[in-house]
Chain A
Amino acid sequence: MPEIKWEKEMDAALARAMAEKKPILLDFFNAH
């Protein structure tokens, strides 16, 4: 089963987005 490989830090996501030339999916969630 494939899983989404979530980043946890914004700086890491932005660095990857810049390097890989991809948009960011930012999901704000509420822990239950």
Chain B
Amino acid sequence: MGAVTYPDAKVAELVNNRMIPIQLMANVEPYAKDFNIKWTPSIITLDENGTEHNRVVGFLPPEEFIPAMMLGIAKVSFDLDRFDEALAELEKIIAEYPKSKATPEAIYLRGVTGFKSTKDPKPLKAAYEKLHAEYPDSEWTPRALPYRLIS
């Protein structure tokens, strides 16, 4: 990560502007135990109270790291019921990184967020239809399968 991804200009811009970055050695206690660190890199997204909302283990190149971190930001917003913020972040991932491995999960979470914020189930069906049509091999497509029945 330190040789390829973190020196990337777009990565640095995202991290410096949108997040508070902190690096810790994997053996620094109490954090290694608190976060159950068994392998590196382990990259965790926390809210401002220090609660975990997303975790990535293993190397990601810049073009995957950026949407993965954006998904982490969206998950923080979603988990804290900040649905408008979550939707805005998810829309950016889907529009700007359609080929990313993070994008099918973003589509799924957009459907869930849309439903939870409006109580209208149509976003769930839309999520299934987009996943089925554009990401048939994603693990997120079968997870959305029940939503095909929504009328």
Contact = CB atoms under 8 A, between A and B. Distances in A.
Interface of A: 1-10, 12-14, 16-18, 20-31
For B45, B48, B49, which residue has the most chain A Cβ atoms within 10 angstroms? Answer: B48
Nearest to B32: A28
Given A20-B20, A23-B19, A28 B25 contact: yes
Interface string B11-30: 11101101111111110000
Given A10-B22, A27-B43, A28-B24, A3 B73 contact: no
B23 A29 contact: yes
A20 to B, nearest CB: 7
B23 A8 contact: yes
Contact of B24 (A2, A3, A20, A26): A26
